[in-house]
C-alpha cells in the first residue's frame, strides 16, 4: 500500500499525496491554472523548488509571480546561473566562482583567461537567450562533499573546490544541473526550467574587477553585472528609472550647480563651496529650530578621544577596523579581550558621538527629576570606509550627524519615542518625502541579555503604534537580525521623486552603553539607577541628506533651500543701474540674490541660470526700468510674468520662508 502524506494548505484544507509527490503535483491536483502559475513552494516555511519531493507531512504554500519579491529573487538567481553557463560556453577555460541575486539584478564572478570587457556583453546576452529558449530543466541533486571536491578539481575549478573543501566533513551539498551538460554548486531554489524566464526581461549592464572572497590579497576576478525582471515591461521601467537617476546624479549636479567637489587629497571628505554650504546652513538652521522647540540641549564634543574610552564602550572590539587611530600602529584586535596595554597612549577619531554624550551626562549628579535629558550635537565623525565603498556624498569618511541622545527613565521611553516619531514625521513631510518605518531586531552578535532585548523591542513597537505609524500605510515591517550590536532600532526609509528608497532616520533603545560606561541617576527612592539611552537622528548625516535632496529635487531646490533664490539679469547694459537697485531691494528683504550684467544675449543667460537651477530669473530692460517692473521667468515653467518689484519681493519672500515658519 502506498504511503500517503498529509499536505496542509494555507486555507486550512489538507490534501493527501503519495510519498514522492512534489509541490508541482499538489498544484496540478488543485487545477491547471495553478499548475501553470506555480513557480516555487514554501514547505514548512522554507522556500524550495516546485519539483522537490516532500519528505513527510508538511505545511505548503505555493509561490506564483504574484509573490513578486520571491519571484524576482528566483528569477535573478536563475539569470546568474544562466550567465555563468553562457560565459563558460563562449569562453572555454573560464573558472566560475559565485553569483548572487541583488536588489535589482544579479552578478557573477569569473576567473577568465583574459579580463572581460563591455564589448563581450552582447555575445553573452545572446547566448543567455539561447539557453533560455532551450527550456533546459533545472534539476537538483545532492552530492557528497568529497565527491564534489574531486569533480571540481578534475574540471580545473579551483575556486569551487576550495569553497567546497571548507564545508563540514560528511556534509551533503546540493548542486543544480542545467539540462545534462552544465552544473553549479548552489543551495537553490531555482525555477523548474530556463524557459520559465522571459528572455527579454534581463540586460547585462557592466563589467568590473573583483577579488576572490572580497579580499584584495586574493586572485583578481572579472565580475559581470546584470539587471533581471519578470517581464520586459518591468525591465523597461527599470531602465527608464536608471536614465532618470543618471540625470539626477548628485555628483554631476553638484558640479553644475557649483555646490561641492571631492578630490584625492582628501579622499572620502567633501569640499563645500559657498553655494553648497548655504544649503547646509539652511538645513542646520531648520534643524536647530526643530530641536530647540522639542526641548533638546545642543552640545559639542571632542573629535579625538582616548582609545580606552572606545574599548570600554565596546566600539573598539566591534568597530575597530572602521576607526582612524592615532598613531596608526595598534595591537592585534579580537572581538572580546582587552587590546590596549596599560602604558599605551592610543587615540581615535570618533566614529560616533554616543560615548561622548554619556560623559557629559555623567558630569554632576543627575536626579530622576532631570530626565528626560535630550542632548543634541551636529557631530562631525570619521569612519574608515573601504575605498571602493565611497560614493559622492552618499558614502564618505568624514560626515556630520544631526545626532542626539535622550537619557530617560524606563517609564518615559514610550512617550519619548512617540514624540520622536511625530517630530520625524513633520520634518520629512516638510521636505516632501513619504516614508516607511522598519523595526530592526536583535543581531546574532550583540551585547545584552535576551530579556533586555525583549523589553527594548516591545517598547519601540508600542511607541510606533501610539504614534499611529505601525500601519500598512507607513510600510511597517520588522527586520530580524538587522539591529545594532547594542540596541534594536526603528528605521525611516524615505521614498524619493522617482520611487527609490533611502534609509535615513533612526532611533535606538539602548540599555547596554549606559551600563558599560556607568551612567546613573538618583531615583525617587534615593538609589542609583541606569538611564535608558535613546540614540536618534533624522537627517542621518548632512552630507548624505543633501545628496538625497539634490537627487530628489533634481537640483531644483525649493526656494527656501536654494543657494541663490533669484538672479536679476539685464537685457541691455543701459538697465544695469536698475538691475542693481532691484537686487539691493531683494537683498534688503532677506533674499539671496545675484545680478547678471554680462554683455550676453538674454537667451544665453536664461539657459545658464536654468542649468544652475536658480528658481527665479528676474529679467529687466529699459521698459521694466521705466515702469518699475520685472519680468519673472520661473524654473520649469513656460513664459514669464510681469509684476512690480514690490509684488515680486512679496512673492519671493513667501516662497523663501522655510516651511516650519509659515503661518
Longest dimension (CA), the chain: 105
Q: Has 401 been annotated as catalytic?
A: yes
What nine digits make up the cell of 371?
530626565
Buried b (16+ CB within 10 A) or exposed e, 74-100: bbbbbbbbbbbbbbbbebeebbbbbbe
The active-site residue, picked from 77, 320, 382, 405, is: 405
The active-site residue, picked from 48, 81, 442, 535, is: 535
- For residue 132, with 0-12 CB atoms within 10 Å meaning exposed, 13-18 middle and 19 or more buried, which class applies? buried
SS3 per-residue string spanning 199-212: CCCEEEEEEEEEEH
The active-site residue, picked from 401, 412, 508, 565, is: 401
The active-site residue, picked from 48, 109, 160, 354, is: 354
Q: Has 78 been annotated as catalytic?
A: no
In this structure, what DSSP letter does residue 443 have?
Answer: -
Using CA atoms, how far apart are residues 327 and 316, in angstroms rounded to an integer?
Answer: 15
| Residues β-bridged to residue 510 | 533
Are 304 and 347 within 8 A, CB to CB?
Answer: yes
CB atoms within 10 A of CB 325: 16
Using CA atoms, how far apart are residues 324 and 320, in angstroms rounded to an integer?
Answer: 8
The pair phi, psi for residue 330, each rounded to 5°, is -125, 160
The active-site residue, picked from 402, 403, 496, 596, is: 403
Are 108 and 99 within 8 A, CB to CB?
Answer: yes
Residue holding cell 519571484?
71
Using CA atoms, how far apart are residues 425 and 423, in angstroms rounded to an integer?
Answer: 5
Buried b (16+ CB within 10 A) or exposed e, 391-405: ebbbbbbbbbbbbbb
- For residue 313, with 0-12 CB atoms within 10 Å meaning exposed, 13-18 middle and 19 or more buried, which class applies? buried
Q: 97 in the Ramachandran plot: left (φ > 0), alpha (ψ -120 to 50) or beta?
A: alpha
Closest CA to 488 of 496, 499, 480: 480
Q: Has 232 been annotated as catalytic?
A: no
Q: Has 403 been annotated as catalytic?
A: yes
Q: Has 350 been annotated as catalytic?
A: no
Using CA atoms, how far apart are residues 536 and 338, in angstroms rounded to an integer?
Answer: 29
Close Cβ partners of 59 (under 8 Å, ≥ 6 residues apart):
7, 8, 9, 43, 44, 45
The active-site residue, picked from 383, 544, 605, 613, is: 383
Concatenated DSSP letters for 25-81? HHHHHH-HHHHHH--EEEETTEEEETTPPP-SSEEEEEE-TTSHHHHHHHHHHHHHH
Q: 209 in the Ramachandran plot: left (φ > 0), alpha (ψ -120 to 50) or beta?
A: beta
Tell me if residue 226 falls in helix, strand or coil: strand
Q: In Å, what is the CA distance from 90 to each residue of 116, 117, 123, 207?
A: 12, 14, 8, 16
The active-site residue, picked from 357, 489, 544, 613, is: 489
Rounded CA Rg of the chain: 30
Q: Has 489 been annotated as catalytic?
A: yes
Q: Has 66 been annotated as catalytic?
A: no
Using CA atoms, how far apart are residues 602 and 640, in angstroms rounded to an integer?
Answer: 13
Instruction: Provide the annotated active-site residues.
Output: 354, 383, 401, 403, 405, 489, 535
Amino acid at each position: 500500500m502506498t504511503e500517503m502524506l498529509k499536505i496542509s494548505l494555507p486555507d486550512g484544507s489538507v490534501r493527501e499525496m503519495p510519498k514522492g509527490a512534489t509541490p508541482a503535483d499538489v498544484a496540478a491536483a488543485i487545477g491547471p491554472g495553478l499548475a501553470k502559475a506555480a513557480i516555487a513552494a514554501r514547505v514548512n516555511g522554507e522556500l524550495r523548488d516546485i519539483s522537490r519531493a516532500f519528505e513527510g507531512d508538511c505545511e505548503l504554500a505555493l509561490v506564483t509571480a504574484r509573490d513578486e519579491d520571491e519571484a524576482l529573487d528566483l528569477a535573478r538567481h536563475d539569470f546568474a546561473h544562466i550567465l555563468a553557463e553562457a560565459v563558460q560556453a563562449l569562453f572555454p577555460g573560464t573558472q566560475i566562482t559565485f553569483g548572487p541575486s541583488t536588489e535589482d539584478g544579479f552578478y557573477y564572478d569569473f576567473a577568465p583567461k583574459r579580463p572581460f570587457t563591455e564589448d563581450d556583453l552582447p555575445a553573452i546576452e545572446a547566448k543567455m537567450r539561447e539557453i533560455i529558449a532551450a527550456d533546459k530543466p533545472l534539476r537538483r541533486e545532492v552530492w557528497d562533499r568529497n565527491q564534489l571536491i574531486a569533480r571540481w578539481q578534475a574540471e580545473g575549478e579551483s575556486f569551487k573546490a576550495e569553497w567546497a573543501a571548507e564545508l563540514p566533513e560528511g556534509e551533503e551539498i546540493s548542486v543544480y544541473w542545467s539540462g545534462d551538460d552544465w552544473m553549479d554548486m548552489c543551495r537553490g531554489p531555482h525555477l523548474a526550467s530556463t524557459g520559465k524566464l522571459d528572455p527579454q526581461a534581463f540586460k547585462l549592464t557592466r563589467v568590473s574587477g573583483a577579488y576572490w572572497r572580497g579580499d584584495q590579497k586574493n586572485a583578481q576576478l572579472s565580475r559581470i553585472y546584470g539587471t533581471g525582471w519578470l517581464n520586459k515591461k518591468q525591465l523597461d521601467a527599470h531602465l527608464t528609472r536608471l536614465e532618470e537617476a543618471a540625470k539626477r546624479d548628485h555628483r554631476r549636479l553638484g558640479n553644475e550647480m557649483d555646490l561641492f567637489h571631492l578630490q584625492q587629497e582628501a579622499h572620502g571628505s567633501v569640499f563645500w563651496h559657498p553655494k553648497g554650504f548655504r544649503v547646509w546652513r539652511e538645513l542646520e538652521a531648520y534643524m536647530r529650530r526643530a530641536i530647540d522647540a522639542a526641548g533638546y540641549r545642543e552640545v559639542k564634543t571632542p573629535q579625538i578621544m582616548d582609545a580606552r574610552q572606545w574599548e570600554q564602550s565596546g566600539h573598539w572590539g566591534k568597530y575597530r577596523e572602521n576607526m582612524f587611530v592615532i598613531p596608526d600602529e595598534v595591537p592585534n584586535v579580537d572581538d572580546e579581550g582587552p587590546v590596549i596595554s596599560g602604558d599605551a597612549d592610543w587615540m581615535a577619531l570618533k566614529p560616533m558621538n554616543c560615548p561622548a554624550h554619556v560623559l557629559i551626562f555623567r558630569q554632576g549628579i543627575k536626579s530622576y527629576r532631570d530626565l528626560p535629558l535630550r542632548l543634541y550635537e551636529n557631530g562631525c565623525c570619521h569612519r574608515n570606509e573601504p575605498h571602493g565603498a565611497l560614493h559622492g556624498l552618499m558614502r564618505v569618511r568624514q560626515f556630520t550627524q544631526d545626532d542626539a541622545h535622550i537619557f530617560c527613565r524606563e517609564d518615559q521611553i514610550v512617550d519619548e519615542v512617540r514624540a520622536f516619531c511625530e517630530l520625524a514625521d513633520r520634518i520629512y513631510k516638510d521636505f516632501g518625502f513619504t516614508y516607511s518605518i522598519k523595526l530592526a531586531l536583535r543581531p546574532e552578535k550583540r551585547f545584552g541579555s535576551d530579556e533586555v532585548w525583549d523589553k527594548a523591542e516591545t517598547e519601540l513597537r508600542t511607541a510606533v503604534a501610539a504614534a499611529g505609524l505601525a500601519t500598512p500605510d507607513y510600510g511597517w515591517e520588522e527586520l530580524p537580525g538587522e539591529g545594532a550590536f547594542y540596541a534594536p532600532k526603528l528605521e525611516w526609509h524615505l521614498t524619493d521623486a522617482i520611487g527609490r528608497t533611502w534609509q535615513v532616520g533612526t532611533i535606538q533603545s539602548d540599555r547596554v552603553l549606559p551600563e558599560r560606561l556607568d551612567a546613573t541617576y538618583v531615583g525617587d527612592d534615593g538609589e542609583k539607577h541606569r538611564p535608558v539611552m535613546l540614540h536618534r537622528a533624522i537627517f542621518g548625516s548632512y552630507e548624505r541628506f543633501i545628496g538625497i535632496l539634490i537627487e530628489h529635487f533634481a537640483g531644483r531646490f525649493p526656494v527656501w533651500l536654494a543657494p541663490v533664490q533669484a538672479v536679476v539679469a539685464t537685457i541691455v547694459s543701459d538697465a544695469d543701474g536698475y538691475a542693481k537697485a532691484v537686487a539691493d531691494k531683494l537683498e534688503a528683504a532677506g533674499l539671496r540674490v545675484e545680478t547678471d550684467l554680462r554683455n550676453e544675449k538674454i537667451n544665453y543667460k536664461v539657459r545658464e541660470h536654468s542649468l544652475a537651477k536658480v528658481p527665479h530669473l528676474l529679467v529687466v530692460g529699459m521698459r521694466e526700468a521705466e515702469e518699475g517692473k520685472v519680468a519673472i521667468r520661473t524654473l520649469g515653467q513656460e513664459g514669464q510674468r510681469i509684476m512690480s518689484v514690490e509684488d515680486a519681493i512679496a512673492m519671493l519672500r513667501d516662497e523663501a520662508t522655510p516651511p516650519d515658519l509659515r503661518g
